[in-house]
Amino acid sequence: MTSEQSKGSVAAPSEGTPPASPAPTRFGDLPYGPTMTRLLEPMHGAFLQVNRWFAVPALRAGLGPLFSTPVLGSLMVIRTTGRKSGLPRDVPLGYAILDGCVYCIAGFGAETQWFRNIQADPVVEVVLPTASFRGVAEEVTDPDEWARAFRQLMTNMGPIGRATSGDVRGVADERLREMGRGLPLVRVRPTGIGSGPADPGGLAWIPLQIAETALSLWLAVKVVRLVGRAVRRLI
């Protein structure tokens, strides 16, 4: 190769060279694979819309038990106070319950909005599928507590947890902490009783009333048809 050719050429990567890792996103350098990292931005926007128009209303309406399965994982709603607006902010999250506390994780890292809200005001409200309470949210800093809660949380989240952080079963605590690097884990300590969807003023009666009405209409149609058949036989 001549000197002129070498100046204008770009060396091709060797066949054995692994692809370059994606650059850190605006959420920071999180422990996700290349594909997941590239999807963080569109996923963030999609989650905002799904949470606002479907997940939060459904969970607050008392449909939480429908989301708490080994397939879909277990979901709750955490209500924080907007650090700038001062308004209540609701977000659905996977959770684990250990030693009387609820644990959840900021999946978009330290820039996750609800996590930044609790840093400004740690008083929160939590709506579980079967209960509701007020509490104080704190980031978990003890490494042993972090590993135990993270393992349980990812297990509770089912396929979503495995897609996010991999299979945590049988993984050593040190490796587990590396798998969750950059993802703040939060403990919520209950401080008072809250108002759940099935309590007075809640919305659990709405889906129950719809189901009851649908069942009543179905039975009424069945009865009318049976009566009609009986009348036709008599005629």
Mean pLDDT in residue range 51-73: 63
94 touches 74 (CB < 8 A): yes
Whether this model's pTM surpasses 0.85: no
Chain segment 175-222, per-residue pLDDT in tens: 887 777 888 999 999 998 876 666 655 566 566 667 667 777 787 777
In this structure, the chain runs to a length of 235
Following DSSP, what letter does each residue of 42-83 receive, concatenated?
Answer: HHHHHHHHHIIIIIHHHIIIIIHHHH-BTTTB-EEEEEEE-T
Bridge partners (DSSP) listed for residue 93? 76
CA distances (Å), 179 to each of 73, 145, 171, 175, in order?
19, 15, 10, 6
CA distances (Å), 63 to each of 143, 154, 161, 196, 224, in order?
34, 22, 21, 11, 32
Q: What percent of the chain has pLDDT over 70?
A: 57
The Cα–Cα gap between 155 and 17 comes to: 35
Q: Is the dihedral of CA 23, 25, 26, 28 positive or negative?
A: negative
Confidence of residue 172 (pLDDT cuts 50, 70, 90): confident
The Cα–Cα gap between 92 and 66 comes to: 14
Closest by CA position to 203, among listed 94, 78, 56: 56
DSSP 201: T
- Sorted by where each starts, the structural domains of the chain and their CATH numbers stand as 21-196 (2.30.110.10)
